[in-house]
Amino acid sequence: MIILEHLREIFCEVFDDDEIELTPEMTANDVDGWDSLSHVNLIVTIETRFKIRFTQKELLTFKNVGDLNRSINDKVSINR
């Protein structure tokens, strides 16, 4: 839950919109401004703030926010 809230804060910062509410089903099509270039900003910010790294293969498997959140949780728990 804490990770999801932190992720929401990153989304708000990257897409400059304080009203974004994350749902597991949410995709780039649901967030105005989520294009391929801002996606790079999103991933770089997530990696830096959570101190994790995604592989290229992992990035390709993310279909929605739920996938992204699950992967962050897995990586953060390994780092602990």
Partner 1 sequence: MLLNQYNIGYICTKQQCDNGLADKIAFRWIAASSVPVNYSFNDLDLQSNKFANILSALGLQTGDIFFTFLPKCPEQFFCFLGALKKEVICGTLFSNFGDEALLDRLGDSGTVGIVTKKSFLKKIRRIVNQLPKLKYVLVVDIDEHQDDTFLSYPKMMADASDGYDTPLTTADTPSVLHYTSGSTGKPKGVLHVHKSLLHQVKTSQEVLQLNADEILWCTADQGWVTGTSYGIIGPWSLGVSQIHFGGMYDADQWFKVLAEEKVTIWYSAPTALRMLMQEDDAVFQKYDLSHLKHIFSVGEPLNPEVIQWSKRVLGKEIYDTWFQTETGAIMISNRPGIDIRPGSMGTPVKGIKPAILADDGEPVCDGVQGNLCLKLGWSSMFVTYLNKDDVYQKKFINGHYFTGDTAVRDMDGYFWFKGRSDDVINTGGHLISPFEIESALLELEEVAESGVIAAPDEMLFEKVVAFVNLNQGFEPSKELEIKLRLYISNKVSSIATPQDLIFVDKVPKNKSGKIMRRVLKARYLGEDEGDISTLED
- Rule CB under 8 A: is residue 9 a binding residue for partner 1? no
- Rule CB under 8 A: is residue 71 a binding residue for partner 1? no
Closest by Cα among 60, 63, 50 to 5: 50
Find the shortest distance in angstroms from Cβ 17 to partner 1: 5
Q: Are 8 and 46 in contact (CB under 8 A)?
A: no
Of 3, 24, 35, 74, the one binding partner 1 by CB under 8 A: 35
Q: Are 15 and 38 in contact (CB under 8 A)?
A: yes
- Rule CB under 8 A: is residue 38 a binding residue for partner 1? yes
Cα–Cα separations (whole angstroms), residue 72 to 7, 32, 56, 63: 9, 23, 15, 14
Query: Which lies closer to partner 1 via its Cβ, residue 45 or residue 71?
Result: 45
Instruction: Return residues touching partner 1 (CB under 8 A).
Output: 13-14, 16-19, 27-30, 32-38, 40-41, 44-45, 48
